[in-house]
Structure 1
Amino acid sequence: MSSYDVIVIGAGPGGYVAAIRCAQLGMKVACVEGRETLGGTCLNVGCIPSKALLHASHMLHEAEHNFATMGLKGKAPSVDWKQMLAYKSDTISQNTGGIEFLFKKNKVDWLKGWGSIPEAGKVKVGDEVHEAKHIIIASGSEASSLPGVEVDEKTVVTSTGALELPKVPKKLVVIGAGVIGLELGSVYARLGAEVQVIEFLDAITPGMDAEIARQFQKMLTKQGLKFTLGAAVQGTSVKGGKATVTYKLRKDDSEHEVVADTVLVATGRKPYTDGLGLEALGVEISERGQIKTNDRYATNVSGIYAIGDAIDGPMLAHKAEDEGMACAEGIAGQHPHVNYGVIPGVIYTHPEVGNVGETEESLKKQGRAYKVGKFPFMGNARAKANFAADGFVKILVDAATDRVLGAHIIGPMAGDLIHEICVAMEFGAAAEDLARTCHAHPTYSEAVREAALACGDGAIHA
């Protein structure tokens, strides 16, 4: 029986970061992972492979729509789907292999197999039982479905199956207008599929700033995606390699059907804790299936912690990473803190969407007085030169103090630009601080500065 200071269950972004941080802090660490490769859902069947396909399909879009205008003449490229999937797989291998290298570098033992906790202080992997002073559960999440919708990962698929389709479907129905559905819907639309998105609510991207969501839907519609909003999916059936989706429109209770080659179920994710033995241990679980923890990520059972998708909060890789580091540092006796008010969200379509902090809707609900500063990318020189002038930057600040409360960006490189706002918010900056910071010209980031200026006397280039 081997003994460790810390055993981490799960090698996704939360788990592998927690393991490495524990090792950096001088602890003897092992990480349990049953996949053949490290990195969890994110690196294997989530964030990384989807970004590879988004990048490849965007390059196709550029070749088809913008190359000729720039003087790049020639035959438009054709899609070799098998090669595109091979490129995606190579991207996965490079990243998962990198985690394995980091484990060796930091002397983290990889316990290969699926773990369970027979009792506090012990982790069972296969037939072997290992001892640990501390156990961190980082078991992640799995795709959730709807009643009457049976996933076979062939015709009716989750994001996992959508990344491995044998061919580009002629017709794709996406159930759910959240991040996953819109990103993968965007990929297949660029590759020539007819894409219809069916959403229960009356707007896409639930929780997003409403103005951004409306603009985003218009842009995606212009790109060819079709939206059916306010529709409750009743079920799916598969026959002859085709899927039929039945749904009711909530406004009049009318029932409709649509037939597709592939149906992508993108209705969210749920914590994955099966087989860990938490119930027998007495670990408290919420009604939503999340492991309950305190502000140090400790469960009610001494020596057992949980982070990432397995606990409350947004199911984001970077949120899990922050919690992994904080949990490790807490175990080491430090006093870490995760600022949940400054966790950015990004949708990697084109244009990208980035957001952090409060929305107009949340501020109105609080009754808080605020100001809005906006600047369109149409006024940004580099965006115009790069055929990326759609969208805008929107900054929300406290009306009395000018302190930045949130920001929402739809436009080029929004996922990178949003972090300027994150740093500002972490330091309690005012919009004037951003406005008075010199930004290189020409860059997309100037749009952020202009939006900050718009919170005061006004933008220069608007």
Structure 2
Amino acid sequence: MASYDVIIIGSGPGGYVSAIRCAQLGLKTACVEGRDTLGGTCLNVGCIPSKALLHATHMLHEAEHNFADMGLKGKTPSVDWDAMLAYKDKTVGQNTGGIEFLFKKNKVDWLKGWGSIPEAGKVKVGDEVHEAKHIIIATGSEPAPLKGVEVDEETVVTSTGALKLKKIPKSLVVIGGGVIGLELGSVYARLGSEVTVVEYLDAITPGQDAEVARQFQKLLTKQGIKFVLGAAVQGVSVKNKKATVSYKMRKDDAEAEITADTVLLATGRRPFTDGLGLSDLGVALSDRGQIEVDGSYKTNVDGIYAIGDAIKGPMLAHKAEDEGMAVAEMLAGQKPHVNYNVIPGVIYTHPEVGSVGETEETLKKAGRAYKVGKFPFLGNARAKANHAGDGFVKILADKETDRILGAHIIGPMAGDLIHEICVAMEFGAAAEDLARTCHAHPTYSEAVREAALACGDGAIHA
């Protein structure tokens, strides 16, 4: 029996970051992982492989639509699907191998196998039981099921199966208009699939700023993706390797169906805590299966903590990372803090969507007076030169104090640009602070400055 200061169960972004931070702070640390590779869902079958396919297919889109205009002549590339999947797998391998290297560098023990907690202070992995002063649950999430939809990961797939289809489908139905569905739908639309998104609500990307969501849908429609909104899926049947999705329109109960080669179920995710033994331990769970924790990530059982997708809050890898570092620092005697008002969200389609903080809808609901500064990428010289003029930057600031309350970007490099505003918000900056900061020319970031200027006397190039 080995004894540790901390054992983390799960090696996803929350788990592996927490493990490394614990070790850096002098705690004897182990991390439990049952996969053959570290990194959890994100690195193995989520964030990283999907971004590899998004990047590859965006290059294809550029070759098909923009190369000739830039004077790049030649035959349009053909798609070798097996080679593209191999590139994706190579990317995954480089990243997961990198985590294993970091574990060795920081002297984190990898306990290989699936973990359970037979009692407080003990973690069982296989036939071995290890002792720990502190146990951190970082087991992440899994695709949420939908009544009437049976997943086989071949014809009806989750995001996991969508990343390794044997061939590119001629037609794809995506159930769910959230981040995962739109990113993977975008991949296959670029590869030539006829993609239809069926969404229960009347708008895509629930919780997103409504103006951004509308513009986003228009741009995706322009790229060939079809949308059926306000539709409640009743079930999916499979016959002769074809899937038929039946749905009912919420506004009038009209019934319809659509048949496709592949159906992607992307209706969200739920905490994955199976096999941990939480019920026997008496660990409190919410109605949605989330582990209940206090402000220090402690459960109601002494010595057991939880972070990431397993607890309440947005299911984002970087949120889990911040929580993983925070609990590590807390266990080492420090006083960390996670600012949940400044956690960005990104959709990695093209154009990208980046957001942080309040939306117009949440501010109106709260009755808070605010002002809006907007700037279109069509007014940005770099964007025009790069065939990337779609979209805009939108900054929301307090009407009286000018303090930045939120921002929403749809356009080129939105996922990177949003962090300038995150830093500004972390330091309580006003829109004028951003507007008076010199930005290099020509860069996409100038659009952020222009939006900040628009919160005051007005943008220069609009």
Displacement of 1:145 after TM fit? 1.8
Q: Kindly report which structure 2 residues correspond to 1:23-102, keeping only aligned pairs within 5 A, or say none.
A: 23-102=23-102
Partner of residue 110, structure 1: 110
**After superposition, what is the alpha-carbon deviation per residue over 1:250-284, rounded to whole angstroms, capped at 9, x for unaligned?**
11101111111000000000000000000000000
With the length of structure 2 as denominator, give the TM-score of the two structures: 1.00
The alignment status of 1:197 with 2:197, answered yes or no, reads: yes
Displacement of 1:333 after TM fit? 1.1
Q: Distance in 2 between matches of 1:146 and 1:248?
A: 15
Q: Kindly report which structure 2 residues correspond to 1:318-333, keeping only aligned pairs within 5 A, or say none.
A: 318-333=318-333
Q: Distance in 1 between matches of 2:228 and 2:176?
A: 10
Counterpart residue type for residue 341 of structure 2: G
Counterpart residue type for residue 274 of structure 1: D
Partner of residue 20, structure 1: 20
Partner of residue 173, structure 2: 173
Q: Distance in 2 between matches of 1:133 and 1:394?
A: 47
Runs of 4+ in 1 over 4 A off after TM superposition: none
Displacement of 1:240 after TM fit? 0.5
Counterpart residue type for residue 72 of structure 1: L
Partner of residue 134, structure 2: 134
Partner of residue 336, structure 2: 336
SS in 2 for 1:184: helix
Displacement of 1:452 after TM fit? 0.1
**After superposition, what is the alpha-carbon deviation per residue over 1:345-388, rounded to whole angstroms, capped at 9, x for unaligned?**
00000000000000000000000000000000000000000000
Identical aligned residues as a percent: 84
Q: Distance in 1 between matches of 2:328 and 2:299?
A: 14
Q: Kindly report which structure 2 residues correspond to 1:305-324, keeping only aligned pairs within 5 A, or say none.
A: 305-324=305-324
With the length of structure 1 as denominator, give the TM-score of the two structures: 1.00
**After superposition, what is the alpha-carbon deviation per residue over 1:28-83, rounded to whole angstroms, capped at 9, x for unaligned?**
00000000000000000000000000000000000000000111000000000000
Q: Kindly report which structure 2 residues correspond to 1:122-271, keeping only aligned pairs within 5 A, or say none.
A: 122-271=122-271
Partner of residue 9, structure 1: 9
**After superposition, what is the alpha-carbon deviation per residue over 1:319-349, rounded to whole angstroms, capped at 9, x for unaligned?**
0000000010111111100000000000000
Q: Distance in 1 between matches of 2:280 and 2:241?
A: 43
SS in 1 for 2:38: coil
Counterpart residue type for residue 406 of structure 1: G
Counterpart residue type for residue 352 of structure 1: E
Q: Distance in 1 between matches of 2:119 and 2:307?
A: 19
Partner of residue 367, structure 2: 367
Q: Distance in 1 between matches of 2:238 and 2:134?
A: 47
Q: Distance in 1 between matches of 2:288 and 2:241?
A: 34
Partner of residue 406, structure 2: 406
Partner of residue 459, structure 2: 459
Q: Distance in 2 between matches of 1:427 and 1:312?
A: 25
Q: Distance in 2 between matches of 1:8 and 1:356?
A: 29
Unaligned runs of 5+ in 1: none
SS in 2 for 1:196: strand
Number of residue pairs matched by the alignment: 462
Q: Distance in 2 between matches of 1:310 and 1:31?
A: 16
SS in 1 for 2:267: coil
Counterpart residue type for residue 363 of structure 2: L
Partner of residue 350, structure 2: 350
